[in-house]
Chain A
Amino acid sequence: MSALLSIKNLHVSVNGNEILKGFNLVIQRGEIHAIMGPNGSGKSTLSYVLAGKEEYEMTEGEIIFNGKNILDLTPEERAREGLFLAFQYPIEIPGVNNVHFLRTALNSIRQHKGLEPIDTSEFLKLVKEKQKSLALPSNLINRSLNDGFSGGEKKKNEIFQLSILNPLLAILDETDSGLDIDALKIVAQGVNSYHNKENAVLVITHYQRLLDYIVPDFVHILYKGKIIKSGDKTLALELEKTGYESFKV
């Protein structure tokens, strides 16, 4: 079977500044990849360009996701094809019910797959089950979308959405930032229970800490818009000891 995600020689500019400069990455189904890098190395740019954010312009290269050229797809089509981005800073949308929003999203994805909208009782069962496993307080899921949530609650809510929407590829953009150790464990547990042989996870992070709980098959070091080193999970530990400085080319 072909790779779930294949990125070749990716160049991306934002407002005329080139951020990614020849980035390559191949992710197979069932794998967990981690991308680590210092501030400004292009980590968030990578997640945004994959999700299709407007101001991130691909000037060169190719991204194939699940057999489709991603350039041909709008951001909502990418999402419906199974690309999920857990945002670094989940946005607040006042007045929009969290669960209602999620149901609309799920049904948009189901419609794309030619499925009927999910039955109400089935959906509520699913919500309840995931809410419990993520230890989300029940009032949180009925509140407005991220409105007034603490930093930790927002991140948990992203993983809650991930577990319900069940995409092919989950991109976690610094999901660990701002989490205390208990929340970190819960989030990691959520990701691990989502992960299976059919899907893949791309973890973007500064720190090794998260990788104690979400154990990657591959670790890549991103520096100035390129991957400068790849390895297994021990690379993250090495990096934690020596810092990014020692990897500069």
Chain B
Amino acid sequence: MSNKIIQEKINKDYEWGWSFDIESEIAPKGLNEEIIRFISYKKNEPEWLLDIRLKSFRYWKELNHPHWAHINFQIPDFQDIIYYAAPKKKTLSSLDEVDPEIIKMFERLGIPLEEQKVLAGVTPNVAIDAVLDSISVKTTFREVLAEKGIIFCSFSEAVQNYPDIVKKYFGSVVPYTDNFYAALNSAVFSDGSFCYIPKGVRCPMELSTYFRINTAGTGQFERTLIIADEDSYVSYLEGCTAPRRDENQLHAAVVEIIAHKNAEVKYSTVQNWFPGNKDGKGGVFNFVTKRGICLEDNSKISWTQVETGSSITWKYPSVILKGNNSVGEFYSIALTNNYQQADTGTKMIHIGKNTRSTIVSKGIAAGYSQNTYRGLVQIRKGTEKSRNFSQCDSLLLSDTCGAHTFPYIEVKDISAIVEHEATTGKISEEQLFYCIQRGIDKEKAISIIVNGYCKDILNKLPMEFAVEAQKLLEISLEGSVG
């Protein structure tokens, strides 16, 4: 996803639609206790984790698929999915032995797995954890980070090396009983990233996970756990792509963030899973539970997401504001084109005193797509002077698309201040004419105007990501002019 790759391919379709022929170890299709035991065995997991998996699975079996979202799709056949696919030759102990084919594949995605030589005194910008199908294939710059006591590794390694930390926090923000897909994930999750920032440490570089689905017929169920101890800071980035395939692929991840006293976590996502073709065939189902907890006083969690991919996006990155004076933020751009559907937003749960949350959501719908903002602002009793500001803007680019806003606001404390603003509009003909009178073609003009519309949120992204996100918006809008 580097700029160079994006620019090279700017005038084409979904450019990450290729797949590499990587020799993989693949579990048989289907879901049962045996598969779960197999995954757990493969990962050499302790008994307690297998227990959680099995409990989750038994719980999940009793659940009905939820149907309240504003999306229309065929419920996946959970017995027709491969729950474990891992590239062969991978050895957990020797990270230098990554299959050259895999390195090549990530290079084509613009993700360097070879650490560039670190010059004396110069800190690299980004450390990357690369997740291919079910497992993490490489985490870069671990040594540099380790000097500061920062742990950044794959989830599987964390289970082996830091079981106490994992056990303490796993499922503490998103328990397996939370929802249908969280239960499924807790049963079959394969890998993901783990990150621990110790007390008083400001992480010197962006930590990044890059998710790639490669094998056909697989689901991706990653699990990410980020813990920011007292007075620490980390900025975390997440990017994703998948090959173009005719069938729908399921991506059901769980992300948990814990922020201790005075800690700050910034989590940015640029989601570009395969969105399906122009007629709505294929594409990734992106059903993800992301939640952070401001566990102690003065902590802050900030979600920024740019959602351009997936045939269906269904997720609500949320913050539980438990500590006093804690802050939650949610900045979102969701762009849907062709037959894409998005039902996304956030939950801000105010529990601590003087807690503050900000929600800014920009939904852009084109083609035949449906774009929904759904958000909950809950201010509990005794929160004393908590406040929320929400702004939900929708932009319609065609007369066959839909934009919907479902804000839920529950206020139980009389001293709370809650503001909600919403707008729905179209790009004005006057704006468009102004651009084309200056010689800019219509499609480019629309992307310029949409980028401007999203400017406030793009500005929240780390520099490298902001540029990529702008290009992505441009590519995703292609063909939106009738």
Contact = CB atoms under 8 A, between A and B. Distances in A.
Contacts of A7: none
B440 to A, nearest CB: 5
Interface residues of B, number: 23
B121 to A, nearest CB: 29
A46 B32 CA distance: 74
Contact of A108 (B441, B452, B456): B441
Interface in B431-451: 431, 433-442, 444, 448-449, 451
Contact of B439 (A54, A90, A108, A144): A108
B448 A79 contact: no
A79 B452 contact: no
Contacts of B428: 91
Contact of A161 (B433, B438, B442, B456): B438
Interface in A89-121: 90-91, 93-96, 101-102, 104-105, 108-109, 112
Interface string B233-252: 00000000000000000000
Candidate in A80, A87, A90, A108 with the most chain B CB atoms within 10 angstroms = A108
Given A105-B439, A108-B440, A87 B451 contact: no
Given A95-B451, A95-B456, A96-B448, A75 B437 contact: yes
Given A79-B438, A108-B439, A94 B453 contact: yes
Contact of A104 (B430, B444, B455): B444
Nearest to A145: B452
A76 interface: yes
B137 interface: no
A54 B449 CA distance: 19
Interface centre among B428, B434, B444 (most CB of A within 10 A): B434
B229 to A, nearest CB: 37
Residue of A80, A102, A144 with most chain B CB atoms under a 10 A cut-off: A80
Nearest to B457: A95
Nearest to A53: B433
A51 B437 contact: yes
B449 A105 contact: no
Contacts of B435: 93, 101, 105
Contacts of B197: none
A64 to B, nearest CB: 19
Interface in A28-64: 51-54
Given A76-B439, A76-B442, A104-B448, A90 B455 contact: no
B454 interface: yes
Contacts of B454: 95
B444 A90 contact: no
A91 B451 contact: no
Given A76-B441, A95-B453, A145-B452, 20 more contacts: A51-B433, A51-B437, A75-B433, A76-B437, A91-B430, A91-B431, A93-B431, A93-B435, A93-B452, A95-B456, A96-B451, A101-B438, A101-B448, A104-B448, A105-B435, A105-B439, A105-B440, A108-B440, A108-B444, A109-B439
27 contacts: A52-B437, A53-B433, A54-B429, A74-B436, A75-B436, A76-B437, A76-B440, A79-B439, A85-B437, A91-B431, A93-B449, A93-B452, A94-B453, A95-B451, A95-B455, A96-B448, A101-B435, A101-B438, A104-B444, A104-B448, A105-B438, A105-B439, A105-B440, A108-B444, A144-B455, A165-B438, A165-B439
